Structure 1
Amino acid sequence: MINFIWAGLLISGFIVGIINGNVDAVTNAAIESANTAVELAIGLVGVMALWLGIMKIAEESGLVEKLAKGLKPITLKLFPDVPADHPAMGAMVMNMAANILGLGNAATPLGLKAMQELQELNPKKDTATDAMVTFLAINTSSITLVPATSIAILASAGAKTPTEIIGPTIIATTVSTVVALVATKYLGKLPKYQVDYSEDLESEDAK
C-alpha cells in the first residue's frame, strides 16, 4: 500500500508540474532531494555506529536484563492472563526493556517471539487476545530513554545539541504509552470487543 501512495505522490507532483509549466523545477527538486538523502544517510553511519555500540555494551553488560527484572512486577499486572513463568512473559519483558533503551534491532525479534508465544495461549486463533493488543500498544508507543536514531539524524543534519531531544522524547513517549494503555484497557471492557472463548475451549477439550 505504501508503494502505491508514494507512486501516487510522485506522479501527481509531475502532473501538477507539467500543468503549471514547472517541470524543470520538479526535476531539479527531485535530484537535489536525492543528493540530500545520500548525504544524510552517509552522515548517519558514524553517529549510529557510536550509539549502537553504546547500546550493545549496555546489552552485554546485563543492563537490559536488570531493567527487564525491574519491569516484571509491572508486566504481571498489565498481563494478568499470561502465566508469570510462561516464555511469552519473558519475551515481552525483554522487548520492553530493549525498546526503553533504544535497542530497536534487539527489540524486534523479541517482539515477534512474544507474539508467537502469546498466540500459543490464544484459544481463539483468529482473534487477538487482550494481552496481544496490550503488548502491541506498548510496543508501538514504547517509552524511550535514548532515541538513538533521532539523535543521529539531528547530528548528521548539523544540529549543535542533538541530545536535547532526549527530554522531550521521554515526556512524549511516556504520555503516548499511558494513552495507549488507557485506551486498550477501556476499549477492552466495551461489549463490542468482548470475545466468547467458551466454544473454542470446548473444542480444545474435545481434541
Structure 2
Amino acid sequence: MINAIWLALIVIGFVFAAVSGNIESVTTAAFDGAKTGVTVCFGLISVLVFWMGMMRIAEDSGLLKKIAKALNPIVRFLFPDVPRDHPAIGYILSNMSANLLGLGNAATPMGIKAMQELQTLNPDKEVASPAMCTLLALNTASVTLIPTTLIAIRINYNSASPTEIVGTTLVATAIATMAAILADRWCRRWNLHRDRTPPRKSISSKPSLKG
C-alpha cells in the first residue's frame, strides 16, 4: 500500500510538471535531492557508528541488561497478556532500551522480532492484538534520552549547539509516551467493555389477530 502511494505521488508530480512545463525543474530537484540525501547519510554514518559502538560496549559491560531489568516491571504492566518467559519480552526490552538511547536503527530489528513473536500469541492473525498495538504506540512515541539521529543531522548542517535539543526532546517524548500509554489503556478498557456487553435483543412485534 505504501509503495502504491509513493508511486502515485511521483507519477502525479511528473504529470503536473509536464502539463505546467516545469519538467526540467522536477528533474533538477530530483538530482539535488539525491545528492543531499547521500551527503546527509555520510554525515550520519560517523555519529551512528560511534553510538552503535557505545551500544555494543554497553551491551558487553552489562549496562543494557541492567536497563532491561529496570524496565521489566514497566513491560509487565504494559503487556499483561504476554507470558513472562515468552521470547517477545526480551525483544521488547531490547527495543525499548535502544529507543531510550536514541538508536532507532538498532531498535527497529528488535521491534520487528518482537512483533513476529507477538504474532505467535495472536489468536486472530488478520487483526493486530492489543499487545502489538501497545508496542507500536510505544515505538511511535518513545521516550528518548539521547536523540542521536537528530544530533547527527544538526552536526551535519553545522549547528552551533547540536546537543541543545536534548532537554526539549526528552520532555516532548515523555509527554508523547504518556499520551500513547493513556490512549492505549483507554482503548484496551473500551474493547474489553465492548466484548463483555451482551448484544441487545431485538423486539419483534406480535402478529395482529384478524377476526
Instruction: State whether TM-score is above 0.5.
Output: yes
**Higher Cα radius of gyration:** 2
The alignment partner of 1:142 has SS state of: coil
After superposition, what is the alpha-carbon deviation per residue over 1:144-174, rounded to whole angstroms, capped at 9, x for unaligned?
A: 1122112111211221222122222212221
Range moving further from structure 2, 47-56 or 153-162: 47-56
Residues 95 and 108, structure 1, Cα contact 8 Å, conserved in 2: yes
Range moving further from structure 2, 30-39 or 59-68: 30-39
Distance 1:164-1:123 versus aligned 2 partners, 3 A rule: same
1:46-65 pair list within 5 angstroms: 46-65=46-65
| TM-score in terms of structure 2 length | 0.77
1:22 equivalent in structure 2: 22
Range moving further from structure 2, 66-75 or 110-119: 110-119
1:171-186 pair list within 5 angstroms: 171-186=171-186
Alpha-carbon distance in structure 2 between the residues aligned to 1:49 and 1:131: 32
1:17-96 pair list within 5 angstroms: 17-96=17-96
1:99 equivalent in structure 2: 99
After superposition, what is the alpha-carbon deviation per residue over 1:184-206, rounded to whole angstroms, capped at 9, x for unaligned?
A: 1111222488558xxxxxxxxxx
1:130 equivalent in structure 2: 130
Distance 1:14-1:188 versus aligned 2 partners, 3 A rule: same
Alpha-carbon distance in structure 1 between the residues aligned to 2:72 and 2:109: 19
Alpha-carbon distance in structure 2 between the residues aligned to 1:31 and 1:115: 37
The alignment partner of 2:135 has SS state of: helix
Alpha-carbon distance in structure 1 between the residues aligned to 2:105 and 2:178: 24
Residues 94 and 110, structure 2, Cα contact 8 Å, conserved in 1: yes
After superposition, what is the alpha-carbon deviation per residue over 1:87-106, rounded to whole angstroms, capped at 9, x for unaligned?
A: 33233222211221123344
The one-letter code of the counterpart of 1:178 is M
The one-letter code of the counterpart of 1:16 is F
Alpha-carbon distance in structure 2 between the residues aligned to 1:109 and 1:13: 33
User: Across the two proteins, how many residue pairs are aligned to each other?
Assistant: 196
Residues 55 and 102, structure 1, Cα contact 8 Å, conserved in 2: no
- Sequence identity (%): 50
RMSD: 2.6
Residues 100 and 143, structure 2, Cα contact 8 Å, conserved in 1: yes
Extract unaligned runs of 5+ from structure 2: 197-211
- Quote how far apart the aligned CAs of 1:179 are: 1.2
Residues 187 and 193, structure 1, Cα contact 8 Å, conserved in 2: no
2:209 equivalent in structure 1: none
| TM-score in terms of structure 1 length | 0.79
